[in-house]
Amino acid sequence: MTPDAVGPHGRWGVTGALVILTAPIIVLYGWLLLASFSVTITGLVPHGLTLANWRFLWQTLPNEANAWVAAGNSLTFAVTVAVFEVLVGAMAAYALSRLTFPGRGLFLGSTIVLHSFPSVTLLIAIFLILRALGLYDRLAGVILVKLALDLPLGIWIMKGFFDGVPWDVEMAALVDGYSRIRVWWKVMLPLIRPGLFAFAIFAFLSGWNEFLLPYVLLPSQGSQTLSVLMASLSGEERFADYGLVTALSVFYILPAVAVFALTQRYLLRIFSGGVKG
Amino acid sequence: MGALEAAPAPRRRGAVRDVLRGAASPVLFLGPAVLLIAALFLAPAVVTVVISLTNLSVATGLTHYRWIGVANYGQIAHSPWLVLVLRNTVLYVAATLVLFNVGFALVLAILTAHLSERAAGVFRVLWMLPRITPSVILALMWRWFAAEPPYGTVSQVLGLVGIPGHNWMNAHPWAFVVALNGFVGASFGMIIFSSAIAGIPRDQYLAAQVDGASAWQQVWRITLPRLRWPILFVTAYQTLSLLTSFEYILLTTNGGPGFYTTEVWSLYAFHLALSNYFGNTQFGLGAALAAVLVVLGLGASLVYLRVFRFGELVAAPRIEVN
């Protein structure tokens, strides 16, 4: 489809239609931003402006984790998840795309079956297993669980990237005596770098937002992530300080929005094969 | 095998090593992923099914539970809420899927395709916002959005045109639940459809324009037919996602208002297995409900996989070099 298909008048019509459809989102986030700087707010009308809602930036809230420490934990969690998901997933995806071995179809089929397990109902079992492995209440344990739960879909997506690389490139390297692992690292990965980059961004965002896993499996305050701090602040409905909660929400969403806005041009590649050029 | 046979035959010792290396490669490449998935996804899934055969609960603890066979499943089958919860689940999945995850997503993808890349990017970022907003925050925002006067935005805006305000979440819980989930879900389809549209050769549209086709005809005749597979993919994938997702319902209506008005299957399992009002969390029964949900999901997957021609997706590599 092309921008010129509808002409200049049509383009205004299209923009207008999109603005109307998008209005609820604009209002929702506009409200959040306004509320974070208001003493109280009714609808979209703020009453009294204040910076006090943002006090978590320069002081630790009583009985809560420090917001910057929590942000650091979230960052560690999200970056580690993204890096390992790409590495481990890309290895498995390469094997599934390029090698024949017994159980290949079974593996691909069973990852889809696993997707239909609601991860929340697995929590009891995951808790028991983590405890047995001595990984309960440790950041490493939550990272491993998140990796395990997200890898099946990641492998499927990255298999698509490898499927899109022509065979002759790889063949030439193999005939030249490259080992499989060297072909994977030196030849294949650089070719699908745009797709891997896009996938890493999505994995990062998913890790940044993860709530349930750290909430259940990482109860200690020192290793609390932003999402858990958020839930803790907004939990006690009647006593919640909504100005504070909305300010912390903006603080929490902002990095994710920035990452997405800066990279969204490349993110479409994840669904269009991810191969360069 | 395959094309490498054209290369000069390696010496005998080398051949043995090649065979060994051939077997080692899949293990090496798949090992980490398989280990992780087996230990922390597959094993919990199996343990969940095993738990569903016990009366494990907070009352029994981890030591005093009994094996009760399929009694949990019998209890589900005879539950007076079975029909209601099933009906809710179908309504939730079908309405969100058709109206938003596919319907809205298509409209957004087609509309943004008519804009410049920069303008389209703005709308894409806006629509991705709900997806990258933590669920706790988004639920809070929607509750305030729909709140009663003087706090709710919807009530305030409608008040300007004289429509009396009230708590819209409690007045129209289903519309609220579907809209909230739909505004999160639409971006997935939007991105997939957008990239599929971007892949359609421009000349097809130019040729149609030369022939005098209207914008609407171009959408109907060129774009939509090319979106068949992406639409199927989004439908299949999002059906499973919706079946198992209940976080937003939990954080807003929590199955209400009133008795089980918006209680869907996965939320029902969560309520029984992890947060029970009566203080006795029934892990066994919750696990059985989860297992039934998996069967429902599998049924849907099998139908979709058939439509998708799964065989082609997992077809073995055409040329094998080991």
Cα atoms found within 13 Å of the Cα of residue B285, Cβ hemisphere only: 22
**B115: nearest CB among A11, A116, A180:** A11
Q: Do A118 and B42 touch (CB under 8 A)?
A: no
Q: Do A129 and B39 touch (CB under 8 A)?
A: yes
pLDDT tens-place string over residues A110-120: 776 777 676 76
| Other Cβ atoms closer than 10 A to B298 | 15
Q: How far is A261 from chain B (nearest CA, A)?
A: 6
Say if residue A61's pLDDT is above 80: no
Counting the structural domains of chain B, the total is 1
- Measure the CA–CA gap between B190 and B12, rounded to whole angstroms: 56
Instruction: Confirm or reject contact between A209 and chain B (CB < 8 A).
Output: yes
> Looking at the DSSP assignment, which residues form a beta bridge with residue A46?
A41
pLDDT tens-place string over residues B282-320: 788 888 888 888 888 888 877 877 776 655 555 555 444
The dihedral built from the CA positions of residue A46, A52, A56 and A57, taken in this order, carries a sign that is: positive
Q: What is the ipTM of this complex?
A: 0.81
- Residue with the two structure tokens 């999002």: B238
Residue B45 lies in a domain: no
Amino acid symbol at B90: V
Quickly state the pLDDT bin for A218 (edges 50, 70, 90): confident
Residue B309 lies in a domain: no
CATH number for the domain including B229? 1.10.3720.10
pLDDT tens-place string over residues A160-206: 888 878 888 888 888 888 888 888 888 888 888 888 888 898 899 88
- Residue with the two structure tokens 């993204």: A82
Residue B63 lies in a domain: no
Instruction: Confirm or reject contact between B48 and chain A (CB < 8 A).
Output: yes
Q: Residue A197: which H helix or E strand, with range?
A: helix A193-209
What is the per-residue burial (b if ≥16 Cβ within 10 Å, else e) of A37-64? bbeebbbeebeeeeeebbebeeeebeee
Higher pLDDT, A269 or A218: A218
- Measure the CA–CA gap between B90 and A118, rounded to whole angstroms: 16
Residue B288 lies in a domain: no
**B297: nearest CB among A116, A123, A231:** A116
- Residue with the two structure tokens 């930036």: A57
Residue B164 lies in a domain: yes
> Looking at the DSSP assignment, which residues form a beta bridge with residue A49?
A38
Question: Could you tell me if A158 and A199 are in contact, meaning their C-beta atoms sit under 8 angstroms apart?
Answer: yes
Amino acid symbol at B184: V
Q: Could you say which DSSP state residue A182 is in?
A: H
Interface of B with A in 63-102 (CB under 8 A): none
- Measure the CA–CA gap between B183 and B243, rounded to whole angstroms: 17
**B26: nearest CB among A25, A101, A267:** A101
Tokens of A27: 């209002």
Three-state SS string over chain B comes to CHHHHHCCCCCHHHHHHHHHHHHHHHHHHHHHHHHHHHHHHHHHHHHHHHHCCECCCCCCCCCCCCECCCHHHHHHHCCCCHHHHHHHHHHHHHHHHHHHHHHHHHHHHHHHHCCCHHHHHHHHHHHHHHHHCCHHHHHHHHHHHCCCCCCCHHHHHHHHCCCCCCCHHHHCHHHHHHHHHHHHHHHHHHHHHHHHHHCCCHHHHHHHHHCCCCHHHHHHHHHHHHCHHHHHHHHHHHHHHHHHCCHHHHHCCCCCCCCCCCCCHHHHHHHHHCCCCCCCCCHHHHHHHHHHHHHHHHHHHHHHHHHHCHHHHCCCCCCCCC
Residue B167 lies in a domain: yes
Instruction: Confirm or reject contact between B152 and chain A (CB < 8 A).
Output: yes
Q: Which residues of chain B register pLDDT less than 50? A: 1-12, 16, 19-20, 318-322
User: Comparing C-alpha atoms, which of A97, A46, A209, A138 is closest to residue B247?
Assistant: A209
Higher pLDDT, B258 or A91: A91
Residue B33 lies in a domain: no
Q: What is the pLDDT of residue A88?
A: 94
Residue B244 lies in a domain: yes
Instruction: Confirm or reject contact between B111 and chain A (CB < 8 A).
Output: yes
The parent domain of residue B104 ranges over 82-262
Q: Residue A80: which H helix or E strand, with range?
A: helix A67-98
With contacts defined as CB-CB under 8 Å, which chain A residues touch B107?
A: 21
Count of pairs with CB atoms under 8 A, one residue in A, one in B:
313
- Measure the CA–CA gap between B276 and B279, rounded to whole angstroms: 5
pLDDT tens-place string over residues A47-57: 778 887 888 78
Instruction: Confirm or reject contact between A39 and chain B (CB < 8 A).
Output: no
Say if residue A273's pLDDT is above 70: no
With contacts defined as CB-CB under 8 Å, which chain A residues touch B302?
A: none
- Measure the CA–CA gap between B42 and A129, rounded to whole angstroms: 11
Q: Do A129 and B47 touch (CB under 8 A)?
A: yes
Q: Do B125 and A92 touch (CB under 8 A)?
A: no
> Average pLDDT, whole number, for chain A?
81
**A125: nearest CB among B48, B200, B243:** B48
Which one of B140, B190, B204, B271 makes the best mutation probe of the A interface by having the most chain A beta carbons within 10 Å?
B140
Q: What is the pLDDT of residue B103?
A: 92
Instruction: Confirm or reject contact between B28 and chain A (CB < 8 A).
Output: yes
